[in-house]
Amino acid sequence: MTPILQFKRYMWLVDLLHSYGALTKAEIDDYWSRSNLNDKQEKSIPKRTFMRMKNDIGELFKIDICCLRKEGNRYTLENPHDIRKDGDVQQWLINCFSINNLLLDSQQIKERIVLEDIPSGNRFLTCVIEAMLQNKVLRVQYHSFKMQQAREFEIMPYCLRCFKQRWYLLGLRKDYNELHFYSLDRMVDCDVTEQTFQLPKDFRASDFLYHYYGVMHDKQAEIVQIRVQPFYANYLRSLPLHRSQKEIEKTDDYSVFEYYIAPTVDFIRELRSFLPEITVLTPQWLREQFRAEAQQVLERF
């Protein structure tokens, strides 16, 4: 069995238990007998194979599967809340696998399912992840939108972030003193060098990104409040702009949402996408910026 197929089977089991909560071995076997991954048309997963899958999943993904003996020997994820955190890699893997699995089972309606295209940066993911696993320096050829030609430099890779259909690498260039994001789809080439680096012990990607909306990190966090018309407030309730979002006022005519966030360029761009249905209340400098931009638009027309 190829490693990729084995990985898919692991993720199938995690996704199954994540979706249904707790299942007996017989119920798991029933789902397996109907799975598109069951290429041998097995009626059940051999007990020894099942236990090996269970152990491997714990070692590889730190996802423990336990047996609830007092509840009829039902198998479940021991800490399901740990894979429901925002930005969690395990949750991302499960979601991707779930969608992929659904599409494989829906070939008869594939022409009725339209997906968004993702730039070619995916081809450098393996290279970047390999460097991160070994704490090795990357040598990249990078063609920024600001550059006329690609440039070659070395980056110490800290973390990856997926944002707006693009993969970004947060890293430290040897000739810079600050962390920067680099879009993988702007990379022309990428190689793992033999040079190693020491990732700071206190670095946590989730902590670094906590107050940011996307990949800009040139502002300090502060309170941002926006007033939103009732209909569009529903969009923000169902899909918050940021983890800090709070609805602090709700009337028949409007709602007020508050964020503690760094109002970076990418966050401001997102707010613009809701115009004219929102009004920035605070901070005052951002309110004035929106007013000035609105005046510029009027002058153009």
pLDDT digits (tens, 9 = 90+) for 108-165: 666 676 666 666 566 788 788 888 888 999 999 999 888 888 999 999 999 988 888 7
pLDDT score, position 133:
83
Contact 100, 113 (CB under 8 A): no
Q: What is the C-alpha to C-alpha distance for residues 269 and 272, in angstroms, rounded to an integer?
A: 5
pLDDT score, position 97:
61
pLDDT score, position 84:
53
120-208 and 222-300, same CATH topology:
no
Overall fold of domain 120-208: SH3 type barrels. (2.30.30)
pLDDT score, position 57:
85
Q: What is the C-alpha to C-alpha distance for residues 227 and 234, in angstroms, rounded to an integer?
A: 13
pLDDT score, position 4:
65
pLDDT score, position 93:
65
Alpha helices in the chain (DSSP H): 3-20, 25-33, 47-61, 89-104, 125-134, 205-209, 230-238, 265-272, 284-300
pLDDT score, position 92:
65
pLDDT score, position 291:
94
The domain ranges of the chain are: 3-109, 120-208, 222-300
User: According to CATH, what is the number of the domain 222-300?
Assistant: 3.30.70
pLDDT score, position 98:
64
Q: Which residues of the chain have pLDDT under 70?
A: 1-4, 80-111, 113-122
* Threshold 0.75, pTM exceeds: no
